C-alpha cells in the first residue's frame, strides 16, 4: 500500500469561494446538465511545504486550501489520499482510484497522455541560488557562470540542466556534485546561505518559499525556460476538468488564489532568533506573570517555562498573527481554539490564549509520556510538540527508532530525526504517518525556549 488516506468533511453550504490563475482547458462553462460532481470527490496530492502539510495540528497548504474552498462552494465533501510520488498519483487517476490530482503536474507531452490539466496554473523555472552581495559581484547573466563553481544534487534534474547549459555555453562551468545520500532543496539553499558552497540551482517555486527563511540569498536569475504545471484529471473526465477550471476562472477564485499565493510563497517568516534583551525588573517576567502562574499550576508545569514560551512565541504581544494564522501571546491556531470550545476571535485576550496553550501542553505531555520517561526530556519533547504539533514528534520518534537514534532523548536524537522529515526519502517512509515537516524551526524553537527558561530561572524564583 503506497498511500495514506484522510477524509475531510466540508459543511454542505454554498459560500462564496476563490482560487488561482486558471489553465486554458475546455470552454470554461462546465457541463453540469449532463454530469454531476460526486458527493465525495476523491483527490490525490503529495506532501510538500507548499501543497499539503500539517502544522501545529492544522492542515495547511496552497493546493489543499484551494481544494477545500472549491468543495465548500460546490457543497460536496472530499477525500484526500497522499501519494509518495507524482507518478503514483497519476497512476491513481488512470485506475480511477481518484477523480483529481490536486498538485502541480508539469504540462508535458508525457503527462498529457494521461492527464487533462485543469484549475490552478503555475509557471516555474530553475533558478540560480547565490548569496546576495554588492550588485557588481552578482551573477546577472548565464554566461557569467563560466569559470564559476556550481554544486548540485547527484543524478538530479538540476545536474542535467547544468550539464546542458554548460554544453550550450561551450563549456567552462565547474560542475560539482554534493556527495550525500539524501539532500533536499532546503539543504542546498542553506549551504549557499552558510557559505558552504558558492552557487547552486533549485526550482523557482521552492526558491520563492525558502527565501522567506533565508534572506541573504538571491534567486532572481532563471537558468531554464518556464515550465507550466496544473492540477489534473483523467482523460475520461474532461467534463470535470471544465467544471474545475470554470470555478477557478471566477473573480472570487482569482482573488483568493492571489491571497493564498502571497501567504504560502511570499509571506515573511523566519526561524526564531535568539534575543535575551528583555529585563526582569522587580522580579517579573511579563505583565501576565499571575496568569502564567495560575495556569501552570493546573498542569504542574513550571510557570517560568510557560512564560518563556510566551516570550519566544510573541514577545508577549497580544495582537501578533503569524503567516499561518496563529494568534495572540501563545500563537494558538484558530482550529486549536475551536477544538477547545473557544471562539478564535478571543485569542487576542491573554487570559484565553494562555489558558488554551496550557490545555494543549497538558494533552501533548499526556500523549508523549508513554514514550519518554525522564521528566526533563519529556519537558523538551512537549515544548517541541507545541511548536510542531504532536503528530510530527511521534513520527520523529518512529524515525529515531528505525535509524538507531535514542527515541527518548531530544538533543541530537529525536531532534535529528525530526529534521529528516523535510526530505522525501524520509517523510514518504511507511513508518511516517504525518508527512512533510520543516524540523529546523522546531529545533531552534526548543533551544530558544529552554535558554530563555534558564535565563529566567537564574533571576526569578518559582513561587
pLDDT (0 to 100) of residue 332: 96
pLDDT at 277: 57
- What pLDDT does residue 23 have? 29
Q: Is the pLDDT of residue 274 over 80?
A: no
Q: With a cut of 60, say whether residue 20 has pLDDT above it.
A: no
Residues 137-151 have a mean pLDDT of 94
Nearest to 118 by CA among 235, 259, 12: 235
Beta-bridged to residue 229, according to DSSP, are: 106, 122
How many residues are there in the chain?
A: 463
User: In terms of DSSP H, where are the helices of 107-147?
Assistant: 109-112
The answer to whether 22 and 119 have CB atoms below 8 angstroms apart is yes
Q: Are 39 and 266 in contact (CB under 8 A)?
A: no
Q: How far is CA 236 from CA 93, 114, 385, in A?
A: 10, 10, 44
Asked if residue 344 has pLDDT above 80, the reply is yes
271 — pLDDT class (breaks 50, 70, 90): low
Give mean pLDDT, residues 1-14.
38
Q: How far apart are the C-alpha atoms of 116 and 101, rounded to whole Å?
A: 10
Contact 387, 381 (CB under 8 A): no
What was the pLDDT predicted at 212? Answer: 83
Q: How far apart are CA 34 and CA 127, in angstroms?
A: 45
What pLDDT band is residue 77 in, cutting at 50, 70 and 90?
very high
Q: Evaluate if residue 4 carries a pLDDT over 60.
A: no
Contact 180, 171 (CB under 8 A): no
d(CA 182, CA 188) in angstroms, rounded, equals 11
What share of the chain in percent tops pLDDT 90? Answer: 73
How many C-alpha atoms does 415 have within 13 Å on its Cβ side?
17
Q: Average pLDDT, stretch 35-49?
A: 91
Confidence (pLDDT) at 28: 39
Overall average pLDDT of the 309-315 stretch: 94
Average pLDDT of span 436-461: 93
- What value does the mean pLDDT take over residues 114-138? 90
Which ranges of 228-342 would DSSP assign to H, the alpha helix? 238-248, 251-261, 289-298, 303-314, 334-339
Whether 267 shows a pLDDT value over 80: the answer reads no
pLDDT tens for each residue of 387-396: 999 999 999 9
Question: What pLDDT, on a 0 to 100 scale, did the predictor assign at position 273?
Answer: 60
Name the residue with higher pLDDT: 279 or 273: 279
Higher pLDDT, 59 or 274: 59
Please report which helix (H) or strand (E) contains residue 104, including its range.
Answer: strand 100-106
Question: Whole-angstrom Cα distance, residue 386 to residue 280?
Answer: 25
Sign, CA torsion 427/428/429/435:
positive
Note if the pTM is more than 0.85.
Answer: no
What integer pLDDT is reported at residue 232 of this predicted model?
96
Least confident of 29-43, 90-104, 291-305, 333-347: 29-43
- Look at residue 10 in the predicted model and tell me its pLDDT: 33
Amino acid at each position: 500500500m503506497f498511500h495514506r488516506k484522510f477524509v475531510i468533511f466540508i459543511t454542505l453550504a454554498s459560500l462564496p469561494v476563490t482560487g488561482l490563475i486558471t489553465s486554458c482547458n475546455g470552454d470554461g462553462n462546465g457541463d453540469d446538465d449532463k454530469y454531476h460532481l460526486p458527493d465525495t470527490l476523491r483527490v490525490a496530492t503529495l506532501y510538500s511545504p507548499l501543497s499539503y502539510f500539517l502544522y501545529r495540528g492544522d492542515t495547511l497548504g496552497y493546493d489543499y486550501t484551494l481544494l477545500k474552498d472549491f468543495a465548500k462552494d460546490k457543497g460536496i465533501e472530499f477525500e484526500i489520499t497522499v501519494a509518495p510520488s507524482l507518478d503514483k498519483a497519476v497512476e491513481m487517476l488512470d485506475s480511477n482510484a481518484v477523480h483529481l490530482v490536486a498538485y502541480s503536474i508539469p504540462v508535458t507531452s508525457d503527462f498529457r497522455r494521461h492527464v487533462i490539466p485543469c484549475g490552478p496554473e503555475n509557471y516555474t523555472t530553475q533558478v540560480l541560488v547565490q548569496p546576495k552581495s554588492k550588485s557588481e559581484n552578482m551573477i546577472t547573466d548565464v554566461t557569467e557562470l563560466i569559470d564559476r563553481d556550481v554544486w548540485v544534487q547527484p543524478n538530479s534534474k538540476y545536474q542535467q540542466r547544468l550539464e546542458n547549459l554548460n554544453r550550450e555555453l561551450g563549456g567552462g562551468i565547474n560542475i560539482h556534485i554534493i556527495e550525500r545520500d539524501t539532500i533536499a532543496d532546503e539543504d542546498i539553499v542553506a549551504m549557499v546561505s552558510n557559505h558552504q558552497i558558492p552557487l547552486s540551482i533549485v526550482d523557482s517555486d521552492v526558491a520563492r518559499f525558502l527565501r522567506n527563511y533565508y534572506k541573504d540569498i538571491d534567486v532572481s536569475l532563471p537558468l531554464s525556460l518556464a515550465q507550466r504545471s496544473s492540477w489534473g484529471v483523467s482523460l475520461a473526465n474532461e467534463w470535470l476538468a471544465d467544471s474545475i477550471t470554470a470555478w477557478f476562472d471566477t473573480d472570487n477564485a482569482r482573488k483568493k488564489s492571489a491571497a493564498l499565493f502571497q501567504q504560502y510563497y511570499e509571506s515573511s517568516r523566519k526561524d526564531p532568533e535568539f534575543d535575551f534583551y528583555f529585563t526582569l525588573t522587580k522580579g517579573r517576567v511579563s505583565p501576565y506573570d499571575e496568569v502564567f502562574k495560575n495556569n501552570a499550576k493546573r498542569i504542574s508545569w513550571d510557570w517560568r517555562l510557560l512564560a518563556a514560551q510566551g516570550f519566544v512565541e510573541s514577545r508577549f504581544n497580544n495582537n501578533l498573527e503569524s503567516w499561518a494564522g496563529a494568534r495572540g501571546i501563545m500563537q494558538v491556531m484558530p482550529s486549536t481554539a475551536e477544538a477547545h470550545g473557544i471562539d478564535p476571535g478571543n485569542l487576542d485576550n491573554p487570559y484565553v490564549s494562555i489558558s488554551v496553550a496550557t490545555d494543549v501542553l497538558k494533552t501533548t505531555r499526556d500523549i508523549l509520556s508513554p514514550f519518554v520517561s525522564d521528566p526533563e526530556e519529556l519537558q523538551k519533547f512537549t515544548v517541541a510538540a507545541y511548536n510542531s504539533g504532536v503528530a510530527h514528534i511521534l513520527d520523529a520518534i518512529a524515525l529515531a527508532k528505525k535509524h538507531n537514534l535514542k527515541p527518548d532523548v531530544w538533543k541530537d536524537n529525536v531532534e535529528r530525526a525530526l529534521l529528516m522529515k523535510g526530505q522525501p526519502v524520509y517523510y514518504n517512509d511507511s513508518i511516517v504517518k504525518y508527512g512533510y515537516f520543516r524540523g529546523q524551526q522546531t529545533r531552534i524553537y526548543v533551544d530558544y525556549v529552554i535558554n530563555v527558561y534558564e535565563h529566567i530561572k537564574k533571576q526569578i524564583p518559582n513561587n
